[in-house]
């Protein structure tokens, strides 16, 4: 850990290439993230995650995936069932609060069953963003709703379900992507909402869940705080809002460095991410030229960032003794009852 570079990287395909193995040996990324392109079948995925652990020399190396349910679900049948988006869980919650929270916990616990069997130990969930009328659909049904208190309750249940299964959560996208009127994968969104309104709404879920081990930034400009830079590269926003107002002292990772919301070379983007105060840079697409450019501007984990990275490993706990079949039956029953309500 003391020599890991402050980066999480993707891989190009279903097996690690000689170039990737050389990159890992030379650059020592702290973590890895998987996508559909990395997944063929169960045996192949188990081999891939084991090869990541072998190459990194760390049994507890963070291996991340986006497994929310709905539109954002990298593991699909037959490796994992199709799960509903957060908005369906919210429908159950509106009818029966207790049932909605139980369904949310169960779905996360089932994600943990699915991920653990393939050697994946981090899920980029929950989504704490709060959409508003007119916002882009990139968040949409991935959100638990438009009420901060509902989001807090349901996201807390999701975190608890993952943790119970030995999988770590990542809160996203701090300090809130819900008001964005464009997709940050394609362009830079600008939110002009007043600071007091942001504090009363968008920031609340992140403050309530500030104890999670990891959070992912939003590539969004909040003009009331920093009109020139998105949260990911804003020293003011990270220091004053994420660290101080929200109170998050966990590992702060950027959203994907290759997204078009960010501008400049990959070297300049990476330098700006670390200058702003992110602990770790995330790069997803597995492009080796981009990875090398990013690695050149990525520091070795040290100081508070190293402390936070160490805390990530320390907070992981063994999975509980939940019965998977019983959990699936209960979850399916809750979904059925919610659909009929």
What's the pTM?
0.96
Indicate which residue of 114, 141, 255, 279 is catalytic. 255
Query: Exposed/middle/buried for 316, CB within 10 Å: 0-12, 13-18, 19+?
Result: middle
Q: Coil, strand or helix: which one is 6?
A: strand
- Label residue 339 by pLDDT band (50, 70, 90): low
Can you give the pLDDT at residue 1?
Answer: 45
Percent of the chain, pLDDT > 70? 99
d(CA 215, CA 220): 15
Position 291 scores a pLDDT of: 98
Give me the mean pLDDT over the 297-320 stretch: 96
- Residue 151 pLDDT greater than 80, yes or no: yes
Digit-coded pLDDT (tens) for 113-138: 999 999 999 999 999 999 999 899 89
Question: Tens of pLDDT along 166-203?
Answer: 999 999 999 999 999 888 998 999 999 999 999 999 99
pLDDT at 81: 97
Of 26, 59, 149, 185, which is the active-site residue?
185
> pLDDT at position 310, please?
96
Rounded distance, CA 136 to CA 139, Å?
7
| DSSP-derived 3-state class of residue 227 | strand
pLDDT band, very low/low/confident/very high, at 338 (cuts 50, 70, 90): confident
185 catalytic? Reply is: yes
Spell out the domains of the chain, with CATH numbers in brackets: 5-340 (3.20.20.300)
pLDDT per position as a tens digit, 200-251: 999 999 999 999 999 999 999 999 999 999 999 999 999 999 999 999 999 9
């Amino acid at each position: 850990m003391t020599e890991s570079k402050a980066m999480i990287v993707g891989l190009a395909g279903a097996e690690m290439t000689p170039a990737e193995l050389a990159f890992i040996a030379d650059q020592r990324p702290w973590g890895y993230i998987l996508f559909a392109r990395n997944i063929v079948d169960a045996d192949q995925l188990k081999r891939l995650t084991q090869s990541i652990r072998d190459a990194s020399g760390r049994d507890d190396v963070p291996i991340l995936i986006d497994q929310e349910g709905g539109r954002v679900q990298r593991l699909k049948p037959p490796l994992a069932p199709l799960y509903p988006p957060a908005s369906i869980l919210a429908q159950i919650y509106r009818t029966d609060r207790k049932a909605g929270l139980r369904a949310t916990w169960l779905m996360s616990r089932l994600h943990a069953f699915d991920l653990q069997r393939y050697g994946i130990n981090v899920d980029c969930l929950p989504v704490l963003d709060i959409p508003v009328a007119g916002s882009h659909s990139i968040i949409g049904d991935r959100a638990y709703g438009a009420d901060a208190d509902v989001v807090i309750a349901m996201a807390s249940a999701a975190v608890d379900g993952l943790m119970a299964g030995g999988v770590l959560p990542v809160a996203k996208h701090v300090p809130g992507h819900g008001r964005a009127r464009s997709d940050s994968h394609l362009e830079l969104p600008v939110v002009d909402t007043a600071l007091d309104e942001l504090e009363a709404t968008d920031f609340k879920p992140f403050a309530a869940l500030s104890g999670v081990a990891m959070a992912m930034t939003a590539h969004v400009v909040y003009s009331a705080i920093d009109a020139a830079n998105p949260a990911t590269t804003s020293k003011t926003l990270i220091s004053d809002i994420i660290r101080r107002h929200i109170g998050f002292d966990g590992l702060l990772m950027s959203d994907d460095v290759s997204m078009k919301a960010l501008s400049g070379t990959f070297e300049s983007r990476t330098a700006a991410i670390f200058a702003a105060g992110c602990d770790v840079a995330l790069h997803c697409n597995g492009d080796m030229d981009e990875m090398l450019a990013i690695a050149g501007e990525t520091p070795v984990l040290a100081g508070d960032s190293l402390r936070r990275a160490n805390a990530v490993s320390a907070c992981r706990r063994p999975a509980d003794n939940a019965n998977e079949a019983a959990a699936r039956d209960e979850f399916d029953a809750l979904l059925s009852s919610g659909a009929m309500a």
